[in-house]
């Protein structure tokens, strides 16, 4: 059985492990640098990014995480995990936070606003569909989500999201400047791949659709071709069907 490490400092690591289990893959919790030596791929989950960074620093994980990425091993960051992997992050709290880096992009930490502005929407995912099949769209769960403002030439954009011209992102002046850039393009990037690195601003682990997990596994040749079956009919979490509306059920406080 393939084994995937899931950084388990805080956030939705249990949900990722459950999604992997549905694909017949074992997910193991990673909290110490030496545990990274036991896995060949890693998921950095969503959570409160500043808290995760402080815990990673306390456990002296940053050097080992950077080495893991630099070795070319598959790494997937969701939401806060995306922030961890970005080479540059804006909109951070006072004092900023340490980053793992490796992904040639600039990410805005709370591009989509506060917790109450969390929402769900259908995203067009042609690359995912070409590899994994299934519906043409993927249900993106955005919880206090980041957005990718720009990417380098080697980064493949896998999904983006249209930004309404009247969307209010933040009262922070530096954020407003980024908002203007996003509006010019009328969209913000929410999923990318660069070589061994996959990153999504949303939370696939909070849905019943495991296509992103299957896609990630195949980046490291961790599953057989026939394991591409990805859609699980039974919902894992109940989510609101209202477009661009705050979710009605209790959600983990992320970012």
Angle (CA) 111 114 120, round 5°:
75
What is the per-residue pLDDT across 4-48, written as a single tens digit (0 to 9) for each? 999 999 999 999 999 999 999 999 999 999 999 999 999 999 988
Residue 242 marked in a binding site: no
Q: Quote the tokens at residue 150.
A: 């720009």
Mean pLDDT of the chain, nearest integer = 82
Residue appearing with tokens 């036991």 = 38
Between CA 236 and CA 196 the distance in angstroms is 28
Residue 136 marked in a binding site: no
Other residues' Cβ atoms within 10 Å of the Cβ of residue 41: 23
Other residues' Cβ atoms within 10 Å of the Cβ of residue 205: 28
- In the chain, % of residues over pLDDT 70: 75
Whole-number pLDDT of residue 105: 97
Q: Is 79 a catalytic residue?
A: yes
User: With contact defined as beta carbons under 8 Å apart, do 159 and 123 qualify?
Assistant: yes
Between CA 191 and CA 158 the distance in angstroms is 5
Closest C-alpha to 139, from 207, 188, 187: 207
Counting every residue written for the chain, the total comes to 255
Has residue 178 got a pLDDT over 60?
no
Q: Is 57 a catalytic residue?
A: no
Residue 48 marked in a binding site: yes
Other residues' Cβ atoms within 10 Å of the Cβ of residue 75: 29
Structural domain 3-228, CATH architecture: 3-Layer(aba) Sandwich (3.40)
Other residues' Cβ atoms within 10 Å of the Cβ of residue 156: 12
Which of 15, 79, 120, 213 is catalytic? The answer is 79
- In the chain, % of residues over pLDDT 90: 65
Q: Is 249 a catalytic residue?
A: no
| pLDDT tier at 126, thresholds 50, 70, 90 | very high
Domain ranges of the chain: 3-228
Pick from 111-125, 210-224, 227-241: least confident: 227-241
Angle (CA) 106 107 112, round 5°:
150
Whole-number pLDDT of residue 39: 95
Stated pTM of the model: 0.80
What is the per-residue pLDDT across 187-208, written as a single tens digit (0 to 9) for each? 999 999 999 999 999 999 999 9
Secondary structure of the chain: what % helix, strand, coil (to 5)? Answer: 30, 25, 40
Closest C-alpha to 49, from 178, 144, 171: 144
The full DSSP string for 45-91 is --S-HHHHHHHHHHTT-HHHHHHHHHTT--EEEETHHHHHHEEEEES
Residue 49 marked in a binding site: yes
Which of 15, 120, 132, 205 is catalytic? The answer is 205
């Amino acid at each position: 059985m393939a084994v995937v490490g899931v950084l388990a400092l805080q956030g939705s690591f249990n949900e990722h492990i459950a999604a992997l289990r549905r694909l017949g893959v074992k997910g193991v919790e990673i909290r110490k640098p030496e545990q990274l030596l036991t896995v060949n791929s890693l998921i950095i989950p969503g959570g409160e990014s500043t808290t995760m960074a402080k815990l990673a620093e306390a456990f002296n994980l940053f050097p080992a995480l950077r080495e893991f990425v630099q070795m070319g091993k598959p790494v997937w960051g969701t939401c806060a995990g995306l922030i961890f992997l970005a080479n540059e992050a804006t909109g951070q709290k006072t004092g900023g936070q340490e980053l793992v880096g490796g992904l040639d992009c600039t990410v805005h930490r709370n591009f989509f606003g506060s917790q109450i502005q969390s929402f769900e929407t259908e995203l067009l995912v042609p690359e995912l569909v070409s590899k994994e099949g299934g519906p043409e769209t993927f249900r993106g769960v955005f919880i206090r989500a980041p957005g990718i403002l720009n990417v380098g030439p080697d980064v493949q954009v896998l999904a983006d999201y249209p930004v309404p011209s009247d969307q209010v992102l933040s009262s922070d002046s530096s954020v407003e400047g980024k908002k203007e850039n996003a509006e010019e393009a009328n969209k913000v990037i929410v999923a990318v791949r660069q070589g061994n690195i996959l990153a999504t601003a949303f939370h696939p682990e909070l849905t019943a659709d495991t296509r992103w997990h299957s896609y990630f596994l195949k980046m490291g040749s961790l599953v057989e071709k026939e394991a591409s079956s990805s859609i699980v009919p039974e919902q894992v979490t109940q989510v609101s069907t209202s477009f661009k509306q705050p979710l009605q059920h209790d959600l983990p406080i992320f970012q």
